[in-house]
Structure 1
Amino acid sequence: MEITSVLIYIIVLFLSTIFSYPFLKKLKWNSKSIPYKLPPGSMGWPYIGETLQLYSQDPNIFFATKQRRYGEIFKSHILGCPCVMLASPEATKFVLATHSELFKPTYPKSKEKMIGPSAIFFHQGNYHSLLRKLVQNCLSPGSLQKLVPDIEAIAISALQSWAGGDVINTFHEMKKFSFDVGILSVFGRLDKKHRENLKENYCIVDKGYNSFPTNIPGTTYHRALLARKRLSQIVNDIIYEREEKKILEKDLLGHFLNFKDEKGQVLSKDQISDNIIGVLFAAQDTTASVLTWTLKYLHDDQKLLEAVKAEQKAIYEENEGGKRPLTWAQTRNMPFTHRVILESLRMASIISFTFREAVVDVEYNGYLIPKGWKVLPLFRNIHHNPELFTDPQDFDPSRFEVAPKPNTFMPFGNGVHACPGNELAKMELLILIHHLVTKFRWEVVGSQSGIQYGPFPIPQNGLPARFWNESNNT
């Protein structure tokens, strides 16, 4: 973020926390009736807490400094909410897996409205379980196997479009690639008109998702809300066409349309639309961020790049110099490249933490987590803990030659709300990297250091780079 953007954001946060003060007063509890104490930590200034400290520096420094001072469980007050931060594998497992019923997923209302209140992210219990099973069935190994040729075609097309030698914003281009794969997994081979309409309106929603939520005509957020309504209409039009033509597909939309619960109830159009848009959100930014970081790590370490190339060149030659397409079996037999992806996920820790909210007063390790408080398992702190990962700042794929200890590596979350699309994400990474290192070369332009947040961490300026076909030496 530029300095001006940071200052504007801080002012917005300041105002939002002041307006949220009536809500904060409701979160008081009767400490005399509960024998446990709050975790150590600082709640910061009145009203605004420690929001300014968090957003005026690298968030990772903020959380790491707190952990060094207070330990693996500590309290704070950010974004208008009192919070408990958890930085140990055991505490994360407690919140996300073994006692997940005590902590509900929580998102700002503005973001719920943007994705849709019926989306899987915002629910727990029976409704969440049913939807999760639907998504997992659609993204099972048998289903993913059938997507390999189409994802490969999308990857080749994307790389060819970058290969003119002009400077591109790698992250932005990776977002386009990931979005196209998301469309494929949801709708199958969608016609161009619907695909372009979805992409156009999704981009407007994406820009408004992290903007200040003021519903005033002309604002980014207001434009995003209008585009969100249009997205629902486009999805409804696609559903209408399928029903009219009696088209039965085995993509995610098909799974949603064919679903009936034990009482014979089907999903409403709004439920289908909210969940499809939610899947598209989940499929884009995080995967694009990991791809961008992986390219940076490969660019910065030539020995690493050569090792990946050697593995992928062997597959390339096996396929008669790329004349035959990749197979599902080949994507499952790229052990070194797979370890590079896992290490990229650990190093970058795209999802640095997740939000939960205590639904009752909870005791953990002698500390009180009051009802209504936000709870943040800090994935990045765990991934960069030297007691769990030796020399955590070094990029070392060999650390994944042995499976990490349970609950120490959670790039896709943990428990019932872990990302059900993680295998799809890894597969598209493997396919794109295969074609990138066997057919193309690239160089990063300008400064190679620095991180920006939007909100996920990405290399500075989206990693500007030039790409060429390997055979083109100009």
Structure 2
Amino acid sequence: MDGMFVYILFFLLFSLACAFLKKQNRKPEKSAKLPPGSMGWPYIGETIQFYSQNPNVFFAAKQKRYGEIFKTNILGCPCVMLASPEAAHLVLVTQAHLFKPTYPKSKERLIGPSALFFHQGNYHMHLRKLVQNAVSLESLRNLVQDIEALALSAINSWRNGTVINTFNEMKRFSFEVGILTIFGHLDTHLREELKKNYWMVDRGYNSFPNSFPGSQYQKALMARKRLGKIVCEIICERKEKKLLEKDLLGCLLNRKDEKGGILTDDQIADNIIGVLFAAQDTTASVLTWVIKYLHDDPKLLEAVKTEQKGIHKTNDEGNLPLSWNQTRNMPITHKVVLESLRMASIISFSFREAVVDVEYKGYLIPKGWKAMPLFRNIHHNPEFFPEPQNFNPSRFEIAPKPNTFTPFGSGVHACPGNELAKLEILIMIHHLVTKFRWEVVGSQSGIQYGPFPVPLNGLPARFLGKSSS
């Protein structure tokens, strides 16, 4: 409750700042029909309800009352919420040029203004291609054994039966995979320095954005400066040794635009830190939910175990490493991952801002207003996913209707690392079910948001080796 109070207080203050400084909560100059909905209290809008309720409840109640297009006010910003696949596709794909990505400046400062997901146009397109090349299927094929080694290192530290915070442990694992993908095999000292400063930035990322000495946000800003210096040190070493690596850093260093221009060290650092942030919490959240859903369904867990034990046996009872082809042939486990992505809907929505007045289905989305495709509503719509509240991986035996399943977003700003995320999840699950049994400790229900949804308290659990009694 204390954490929730801090979040609500932060968003209340931030709402007031947005309202007074940006003055976005004005009536649109063009007289046209706004969508139905409530704008809530003056300045504050519906921020308290939004951040204190289960998003399923908040969004579903709004959609039931107003339909698939409705307005609200969150963080002092007027918003049009879009709960249909067609509307989401319009904002993210067919008319994406009319809607720009938008993030709070406080978060942009911590990641870096040159990070690709703050941009549109040619710069964004070139950077996205570089990231895609670094996490292409061809590149991932060569990372399977290294990711497997990281998974084994992580789970071997849990063997003593100590209760762990599953989400936090999965964050550590996904961070190590991110470091591997970006830098390859990095010097231990540099990796530890990166890790230490990254966690300080991570802790301050969702804190109240003030610069008072000693505040969590101020500490995060200082750690971000150190993080940038460490990355620049790694860049200088690469340049001096003229190393031609195929990891993400290598792709960024070798990038030249149509005029022969190269990225500055600061631009490279911003994008590296941005990729670390984009890849970590989301993947860790999904992994935590997969473990929770398997724990809650013994029959499903047994089916996944049977599938993975077959692979384990083929690999000389685990004495041989997993192969790329094996990770591509885990149909039951893969459907469990897809259903976990749908059920949890880690990314509930995306923030976009209309750059001009846009009319859609007779409603106006005014320039400067936020347009928010609601992935969670679409994923939990019984029209597309019957009995959406039930965890049912078999629903993915048939491909979902177009634009109804977008766990990684859609269009030019869709997550370019989605295949990497699925690969590390599959590898981790393979070793968990073949080497461990686990039990959830304490409450087995409840969700917390910080900001991504995770099981209550990060899913405290005890992992025991198969030989343990």
What TM-score results when the alignment is normalised by the length of structure 1? 0.97
Residue of structure 1 in register with 2:8 after alignment: 10
Structure 2 CA distance, aligned partners of 1:99 and 1:140? 27
Displacement over 4 Å in runs of 4+: none
**Matched residue type, 2:208:** F
Q: In the alignment, which residue of structure 2 is the partner of 1:337? A: 333
> C-alpha displacement at 1:468, in angstroms?
1.4
RMSD: 1.1
Structure 1 residue 27, shift from structure 2 partner: 5.4
Give 1:216's aligned residue: 212
CA contact (8 A) 2:447 2:454 kept: yes
Whole-angstrom distance in 1 between the partners of 2:4 and 2:33: 35
* 2:430 aligns with one of 434, 437, 441: 434
Q: Secondary structure at the match of 2:368?
A: coil
Matched, 1:250 2:246: yes
1:17-39 CA-to-partner distances (Å, cap 9, x unmatched) read 223333453553554x44x3000
Name the structure 2 match of 1:189: 185
| Contact persistence 1:346–1:409 (CA under 8 A) | yes
**1:198 aligns to what?**
194
Q: Distance in 2 between matches of 1:472 and 1:295?
A: 19
Q: Give 2:154's aligned amino acid.
A: A
CA contact (8 A) 2:338 2:393 kept: yes
* Conserved 8 A contact 1:343-1:395: yes
Q: Which position in structure 2 is the counterpart of 1:401? A: 397
Q: Is 1:107 the equivalent of 2:103?
A: yes
Contact 1:105 1:122 in 2 (8 A): yes
AA matched with 2:14: S
Match of 1:414 among 400, 404, 410: 410
Give the C-alpha shift of residue 47 in structure 1. Answer: 1.2
1:35-46 residue pairs with structure 2 within 5 A? 36-46=32-42
State whether residues 28 and 366 of structure 2, in contact with CA within 8 Å, keep that contact through their aligned partners in structure 1. no
Q: Hey, what does 2:323 align to over in structure 1?
A: 327
User: How many residues are aligned here?
Assistant: 469
Deviation at 1:98, TM superposition (A): 0.5
Can you list the C-alpha shifts for 1:194-215, whole angstroms capped at 9, x where unaligned? Answer: 1000000000000000000001
**One-letter amino acid of the counterpart of residue 325, structure 2:** A
Partner residue, 2:381: 385
1:137-186 deviations in Å (ceiling 9; x for gaps): 11111100000010000001111011110100000000000000000000
CA contact (8 A) 1:169 1:463 kept: yes
Counterpart residue number, 1:371: 367
Are residues 380 and 30 of structure 1, via their aligned partners in 2, closer, same or farther at CA, if it must alter by over 3 Å?
A: closer
Q: Does 1:354 align with 2:343?
A: no
After superposition, the Cα gap between the structure-2 partners of 1:26 and 1:404, relative to the gap in structure 1 and judged at 3 Å, is: closer
Deviation of 1:432 (Å): 0.5
Amino acid at match of 2:455: P
Please list, as runs of the form range in 1=range in 2, the aligned pairs for 1:65-464 lying within 5 A after superposition: 65-464=61-460
Question: Does the Cα contact within 8 Å between 1:337 and 1:430 map onto a contact in 2?
Answer: yes
Where does residue 469 of structure 1 map in the other structure?
A: 465
Query: TM-score of the superposition, structure 2-length normalised?
Result: 0.98
The 2-side partners of 1:116 and 1:70 are apart by 38
Looking at structure 2, the residues matched to 226 and 8 of structure 1 have their Cα atoms a distance apart, in angstroms, of 22
Percent identical among aligned pairs is: 71
Distance (Å, rounded) in 2 between the aligned partners of 1:108 and 1:202: 19
The answer for unaligned runs of 5 or more in structure 2 is: none
Moved more, 281-290 or 52-61: 52-61
Counterparts of residues 29-68 of structure 1 (less than 5 Å): 31=29, 33-34=30-31, 36-68=32-64
- Quick one: distance in 2 between partners of 1:466 and 1:278? 32
Deviations 1:207-257 (A, max 9, x none): 000000001110000000000000100000001111112211110000000
Q: Does structure 2 conserve the Cα–Cα contact (< 8 Å) formed by 1:169 and 1:462?
A: yes
Letter in 2 for 1:58: N
Check whether the contact 2:349–2:375 (CA below 8 A) recurs between aligned residues: yes
Give the whole-Å Cα distance in 1 for the aligned partners of 2:25 and 2:60.
Answer: 27
SS at match of 2:142: helix
Determine if contact 1:347/1:395 at 8 Å carries over to the other structure: yes
Tell me the CA shift for residue 428 of structure 1: 0.3
CA contact (8 A) 1:29 1:370 kept: no
**Structure 2 match to 1:21:** 19
Greater Cα shift, 344-353 or 6-15: 6-15
Residues 63, 381 of structure 1: 8 Å contact kept: yes
Residue pair 2:24, 2:369 contacting (<8 A) in 1 also? no
The answer to whether the Cα contact below 8 Å between 1:27 and 1:372 also exists between their aligned partners in 2 is no
What per-residue deviation string (whole Å, max 9, x for no partner) do you get for residues 74-102 of structure 1?
00001010000000000000000000000
Offset from partner CA, 1:267-310 (integer Å, 9 cap, x none) = 01111000000000011100000000000000111000000001
Cα deviations across residues 92-117 of structure 1 (Å, max 9, x unaligned)?
Answer: 00000000000000000000111000
Taking the aligned partners of 1:330 and 1:139, their CA distance within structure 2 comes to 18
SS of residue in 2 equivalent to 1:84: strand
CA distance in 1, matches of 2:447, 2:143: 33
